[in-house]
Chain A
């Protein structure tokens, strides 16, 4: 019998993707605070290169990249594996982290005292830890290894929330930690039950098992809600708005754009790869109902917010909902391969375009808050006149969130809508349309204030250098430019996928 995993020659790239940021954290500890920024920026350049090389290698070989840690074959060892979806996530992560890094460097250097101070030093270390955890979640094939990766992610994300050390952000961080810990405990229990039933923790070995007992149903019923608490889907979203709104702008950008996507990708893997078809169909329906509730409820909440950053945070929960309505639309559980459907492509595009747009939006809001001194939407009248680039960034990112052509968000929502119409899922089609209208409502509320002519012009607390405004603008333009991409690159998503269907 041939082993399920065969290490590919370029598999070492996957190790680099995980270990580069981790070694950067170690180097920062050793070399001290004066060098953290330089180390972080160098690591970002290298990490971008690794992500790019992984993508090129994947497209060139047309097969998934694999690395077997220590050459111990699963079921005992741990395999790292990059298929199309993982590589897409690696690339988006590298791009957003690099953009955040450049943005944060300029943001922290606004204030010479905090430039290399405690706040900046902690930020760089946590950012690198976060990156390592994210890459591991996207690459690992071992359920316990994934648990460690999720915890690494939590331990890096929670302190990022309360970097400024105010009482309310510490409370938000603690609430986040409580939800995240409960989520990981449930996940760990599920992983233990799966090990008890199958004698392995490898996702693909469990997926290939010939028969499933009751254990897998109980395990998935524990693991998926646990991950939902980390992903902040509707009834379990309570921690997200205060946490993401209270964090410094650069931190909220990565938290909102990337960190909550990691559990979403893991849920996708569990439902699509491990769950038996009939259970996957039921799980897909339940997740879609929660996703739809998330879209509607949190869009309305976003409309009602007084503060800009809270509004953007609620919009994140709403946009995450779209990723969960993919499950029934992609026909998961009816025996066909979901990764060939338009809904799957739409979901992947939504993942990418939301990451770029939301990072841009949080950075723009951060610039506005930094320049004006507050982020009360009502008192922001005319900020488009003093900060035209940030207002443009907000508008462009908003295009993608609303799903107005030509933007990445439009293509994503259009594909999902088409899939819903073709599949006869009328309630999902209506939800997508209503979500778009509500998003239009909250984006226009801010754009209206940006273009308003106030009685007395807005006074900037401090001048904002052009460099600072350019980075979010580039991200927003990229989010819109995704709409011009021919959909062919998303054939990338199918690489490394079909062989699971054929696995014994």
Chain B
């Protein structure tokens, strides 16, 4: 029965997959790099939530949750932070060199996001 299966773990899992979907949409559909970057972070948050659900389901021996996925989430957060920092640094460089913040060659004029990332 689906109603019975809706424990907190599966609720978190469903929320995680929804976030993954939203993030993926953001990454693919938006040409502005800053939005894409936010999309990546939403996608990452969704994945970490799925990890949390996995951890909760794997709880055993009186523990509240399986510690291995939690350790992976911590590592993953660090990696995602580093990736975002690298991308922002490159993006600022791109904006200061070319005045655009997209990779779309059809829109050469500086966009609003470029001005904001410069500020």
Contacts and interface: CB of A to CB of B under 8 A. Distances in A.
B6 interface: no
B98 A167 contact: yes
Contacts of B83: 151, 154-155, 177, 181, 184
A196 interface: yes
Contacts of A318: none
Nearest to B28: A182
B40 A181 contact: yes
B27 A182 contact: yes
Contacts of B33: 174, 178
B15 interface: no
A179 B97 CA distance: 22
B75 A174 contact: no
Interface string A163-191: 00111001101110110011011001100
A154 B44 CA distance: 17
Contacts of B75: 144, 148
Contact of B79 (A151, A159, A196): A151
B17 to A, nearest CB: 9
Contacts of B40: 181-182, 185
A180 to B, nearest CB: 9
Given A151-B83, A155-B86, A192-B69, A178 B36 contact: yes
Interface string A134-166: 000000000010011001001100110010011
Output the residue of A76, A147, A177, A192 with the most chain B CB within 10 A: A192
Given A171-B94, A181-B87, A192 B47 contact: yes
A256 B107 CA distance: 30
Interface residues of A, number: 31
B103 interface: yes
A83 B107 CA distance: 50
B76 interface: yes
The SS class assigned to the A binding surface is helix
A165 B98 CA distance: 12
B90 interface: yes
Contact of A188 (B53, B76, B87, B90): B76
Given A167-B97, A196-B57, A144 B72 contact: yes
Contacts of B68: 76, 195
B82 interface: yes
Contacts of B72: 144, 192, 195
Contacts of B114: none
Contacts of B91: 174
B47 A174 contact: no
A182 B23 CA distance: 10
B12 interface: no
Contacts of A173: 90
B58 to A, nearest CB: 6
B87 A162 contact: no
Nearest to A75: B68
Interface string B22-41: 01000100000100100010
A216 to B, nearest CB: 14
Interface of B: 20, 23, 27, 33, 36, 40, 43-44, 47, 50-51, 53-54, 57-58, 68-69, 72, 75-76, 79, 82-83, 86-87, 90-91, 93-94, 97-98, 103
26 contacts: A76-B68, A151-B83, A155-B82, A162-B93, A165-B97, A167-B98, A171-B94, A173-B90, A174-B33, A175-B103, A178-B27, A178-B36, A182-B40, A185-B40, A185-B43, A189-B20, A189-B47, A189-B50, A192-B47, A192-B50, A192-B69, A193-B50, A195-B51, A195-B54, A196-B53, A199-B58
Interface of A: 76, 144, 147-148, 151, 154-155, 158-159, 162, 165-167, 170-171, 173-175, 177-178, 181-182, 184-185, 188-189, 192-193, 195-196, 199
